[in-house]
Amino acid sequence: MTHPASPHPTPAVRTGSRRSRMAAAYAVTGVVTVVFLLAAIAGFYLQGLVRTSIGNWQDYQDHRQEQLGWLHDLRIEMGFGGLSSHLAVYAATGDDTARYRADHSLRRLHNMVATRVETATAEERPLLQVIKDGLERYQVLLASVKTLQEAGARRDDLMPLLNPDQTAMVNALARLESLTALNDSTHNDEVESQFHLLGTLHTLILPLVALTLLAAIGVILLIRRFEQEIRRREQSDEQIDLFTARLRQEIEMARDVQTDLLPTAAQVNSLISGSGLSLSYRLRPSTELSGDFWMPVDLGDGRIGLLLADMTGHGLVAAMNGLRMTDVVRRSDDYFVVNASHLLANVSTDLTGVLPEGHFAAAVLALYDPAGHTLELAGAAVPPPLLYRHGDDTVETIAVRGLPLGIDEEARYDSVRMDITADTTLLLYSDALTETPAQDGSVLTTGLIGSWLRDAAVRRSADPAIDIAGEIFDQALEMLGTDLPDDLTIIALTIPGTRPEAPPMSGLSAFVAALDRDP
């Protein structure tokens, strides 16, 4: 008998859910990390722009100061206190000292202009060339005046030469000053534009960095919490592993106990020795512990009993209930057993007070009486036993009906009794054989199982080594598969057609036989 699946999630489901949460946490971490890196890159880029702009501004200020200082020095050297003043003094007095100072001013002006030309812009170079040409004319005039003065020329004749037209030089100098002012204005516009761009970037990036920082803090907290959860789950898994190992050990011990309760080969041989019976069986649990069991029933009066029981469900609970029922059946020696139905009724009455509420057992009991050479069957909610009669080569389905054991202490059961007149093979089996879907979706019918029984029994007639229960079991697994959802038990009992020589009947056996003969 099967039971409903557990509603609790399996370990695989829990593991899959945990992996999903881990994947989600790592995905969020990855996204935040990418955003944080982008924000950091943007911040470094912004910082680089600020540094570049400040550096450019400082370079420009240095250049501007240098240019303004040069223009100022050039104007001073050309004007009052410079070249013009020395020329005026020289023209008025003819003093050689004034001429020398004028010549020195010219050389200084030449050097200033020549140095400036190296770094001048395309607009400044023509203007510097005009100033340079004017200075060269001054140099020529100064040399000419010195030559004429040495030749005895009059001072009045030399005065016009020392006052040349300076309009071109003055205009060029003014133009240089205006270009400096224009460049200053243009550069100020560029700097203002750069700082406006930096301000815009600062406005955009600062909130992004702040949000990224908050997100990073949130992710760190999430990861810490997740790590704590993982550690807690790991500790829980360790406890589960320890519990599972302990439970597995206990289940192994319980399985050993359950195996010890099943009939041994020696017990089976002792049961059928001298009777001519042949007994074979197979029991396959669907889990570690079986809810099916079978056992011989010793009534103490020469009759041989076989009980196959299928407890509710399978596994540990069904196995424990099987132990309870085994104990109840073993106390059957205390009963005055009239027939198979009488024994099932007594067992059901005792089980009603033993099994937990909602638990019960399906069972079939076969009693063979060597003295009367009869077979009696009684059942409680079991699939019908099959009977193969070798003499007429027929398979008969024996209907045995009754409530499951342990439901109603007043339950009564019918039994079917038959005389054995020829070799007969009885097949008892649990409902897993007929209720488990085959691999092709079909179910095994009693007709198909009966054909397997007939074939195996016929071959055993020729070869006594044939294991009828094993043959049927192998054919069933071939169709159902090895992963059965319920416990499967198969018992085959072959009864010879000739009456065995039985010892004299005891008083109880004689009484039962008399009851059977009494109409």
- Tell me the domain boundaries of the chain: 25-206, 271-517
pLDDT at 62: 67
Tokens of 141: 């005039």
Which residues are bridge partners to 492 per DSSP? Answer: 280, 427
SS3 string of 63-118? Answer: HHHHHHHHHHHHHHHHCCCCHHHHHHHHHHHCCHHHHHHHHHHHHHHHHHHHHHHH
Which residues are bridge partners to 283 per DSSP? Answer: 489
**29 or 186, which is more confident:** 29
Using CA atoms, how far residue 208 sits from 32, 133, 205, 474, in Å, is 11, 61, 5, 72
pLDDT at 60: 62
Only one residue has tokens 């080594």, namely: 465
Contacts for 494 with CB less than 8 Å, ≥ 6 apart: 277, 278, 279, 423, 424, 425, 426, 457, 460, 468
Q: Are 290 and 318 in contact (CB under 8 A)?
A: yes
Average the pLDDT over 483-501 and give the result: 87
Min mean pLDDT across 68-77, 138-147, 366-375 is at: 68-77
* Distance of alpha carbon 18 from alpha carbon 28, whole angstroms: 15
Q: Are 194 and 32 in contact (CB under 8 A)?
A: no
Write the burial class of residue 470 (CB in 10 Å: 0-12 exposed, 13-18 middle, 19+ buried): middle
pLDDT at 390: 93
Per-residue pLDDT tens over the stretch 269-321: 887 777 789 999 999 998 888 889 898 887 777 788 899 999 987 778 888 88
Contacts for 125 with CB less than 8 Å, ≥ 6 apart: 117
Contacts for 182 with CB less than 8 Å, ≥ 6 apart: none
SS3 string of 308-340? Answer: EEEECCCCHHHHHHHHHHHHHHHHHHHCCCCCH
* Distance of alpha carbon 307 from alpha carbon 494, whole angstroms: 16
Say if residue 472's pLDDT is above 90.
Answer: yes
**263 or 331, which is more confident:** 263
Are 25-206 and 271-517 in the same CATH fold? no
Sign, CA dihedral 458-462-468-470, equals negative
pLDDT at 4: 40
The rounded percent of the chain whose pLDDT value lies above 70 is 73
pLDDT at 176: 77
Q: Closest Cα to residue 313, out of 337, 292, 343, 288?
A: 292
* Distance of alpha carbon 483 from alpha carbon 59, whole angstroms: 86
Tokens of 423: 């070799």
Could you give the count of Cα atoms lying within 13 Å of 70 in the half-sphere of its Cβ? 22
**1 or 419, which is more confident:** 419
pLDDT at 6: 44
Average the pLDDT over 470-488 and give the result: 93
- Give the DSSP H/E element, type plus range, for residue 391: none
The top-scoring range by mean pLDDT among 55-59, 112-116, 288-292 is: 288-292
The top-scoring range by mean pLDDT among 11-15, 351-355, 414-418 is: 414-418
Q: Band of the pLDDT at 87, cuts 50, 70, 90? A: confident
* Distance of alpha carbon 118 from alpha carbon 70, whole angstroms: 14
Per-residue pLDDT tens over the stretch 130-171: 888 877 777 777 777 777 777 766 666 666 666 666 677 778
Q: Are 284 and 262 in contact (CB under 8 A)?
A: no
Q: What is the DSSP string of 15-81?
A: HHHHHHHHHHHHHHHHHHHHHHHHHHHHHHHHHHHHHHHHHHHHHHHHHHHHHHHHHHHHHHHHSTT
Per-residue pLDDT tens over the stretch 213-231: 777 777 777 777 777 777 7
φ/ψ bin of 208: left (φ > 0), alpha (ψ from -120 to 50), beta (otherwise): alpha
Per-residue pLDDT tens over the stretch 375-395: 999 999 999 999 999 989 999
Per-residue pLDDT tens over the stretch 170-217: 787 778 777 776 565 555 556 666 666 666 666 666 676 677 777 777
pLDDT at 481: 92
Q: Band of the pLDDT at 504, cuts 50, 70, 90? A: very low
Using CA atoms, how far residue 59 sits from 63, 199, 393, in Å, is 6, 22, 119
Average the pLDDT over 327-354 and give the result: 81
**241 or 43, which is more confident:** 241
Only one residue has tokens 């140095």, namely: 115
Q: Band of the pLDDT at 88, cuts 50, 70, 90? A: confident
Beta strands in 99-230 (DSSP E): none
In whole angstroms, how large is the CA radius of gyration of the chain?
Answer: 60
pLDDT at 241: 83
* Distance of alpha carbon 38 from alpha carbon 43, whole angstroms: 8
Only one residue has tokens 């029981």, namely: 309
Say if residue 447's pLDDT is above 90.
Answer: yes
* Distance of alpha carbon 243 from alpha carbon 251, whole angstroms: 12
Q: Are 425 and 494 in contact (CB under 8 A)?
A: yes
Q: Closest Cα to residue 418, out of 403, 398, 401?
A: 398
Say if residue 335's pLDDT is above 80.
Answer: no
Neighbours of 142 (CB within 10 A): 21
Residues, the chain, total? 519
pLDDT at 5: 44
pLDDT at 187: 56
Architecture (CATH level 2) of domain 25-206: Up-down Bundle (1.20)
Distance from first CA to last CA of the chain, Å, rounded? Answer: 39
- Phi/psi of residue 220, each to 5°? -60, -45
- For 271-517, CATH gives 3.60.40.10
Question: What is the rounded average pLDDT for all residues in the chain?
Answer: 79
pLDDT at 333: 55
